[in-house]
Amino acid sequence: MRKIPLNVEFFAGSLRIIAVFLLRSEDPHLFIPIRAIVDTGSPVTLIGPLDMKRTRISKVQLAKLQGKHKPVNIGGGQIFTIVLEKAKLKFGDFEVEMSVDFPIKGEDNSLQPSLLGIDFLLKTKAKLIFNPSDKEAYFEIEDGAVK
């Protein structure tokens, strides 16, 4: 059993579970440290404008990606994203390959944080353990659950 520690922080008016990981991709070449809210209500993992600005990834660069475009409903609005297939999310010594979404148009919310969605939990078969009283959270992932 693998245990991946998560941060529990006060953000946007309440306690949030925060995952810190590296996002890597070969094509395009990306190596980005990400701080994402673990959002079990989000169907996708979304790299938000805050992380995009910090790493200087522009919407023009994203528009050149060869990936599928799709609408995503976030916070009562709809945005269009481009999907980066085969991105690698690295949590310490644990790494998983999955697709991530980048916003390209729609609701322009420059404060939208990155989100680690339910797609991550499904892909890794992870259990989310959260004790808000002790401000403790972590993922439990069975050894061999991700190939």
Residue 62 has pLDDT above 70, yes or no: no
pLDDT digits (tens, 9 = 90+) for 125-145: 999 999 999 999 999 998 876
Strand residue runs (E) in the chain: 2-11, 14-25, 30-38, 69-74, 77-91, 94-106, 114-116, 127-131, 136-141
Q: For residues 52 and 87, which has the higher predicted lDDT (pLDDT)? A: 87
Judge whether 102 and 82 are in contact, CB under 8 Å. yes
Least confident segment among 15-19, 59-63, 95-99, 119-123: 59-63
pLDDT tier, 35 (very low <50, low <70, confident <90, very high otherwise): very high
**Domains along the chain?**
2-140 (2.40.70.10)
Mean pLDDT of the residues in the chain:
84
Q: How confident is the model at residue 105, as a pLDDT?
A: 66
Q: How confident is the model at residue 96, as a pLDDT?
A: 96
> Among 2-11, 42-51, 79-88, which range has the highest average pLDDT?
2-11
What average pLDDT score do residues 20-39 get?
A: 89
Report the C-alpha gap between 146 and 72 in whole angstroms: 26
| pLDDT > 90 fraction of the chain, expressed in percent and rounded | 48
pTM: 0.86
Strand residue runs (E) in 39-135: 69-74, 77-91, 94-106, 114-116, 127-131
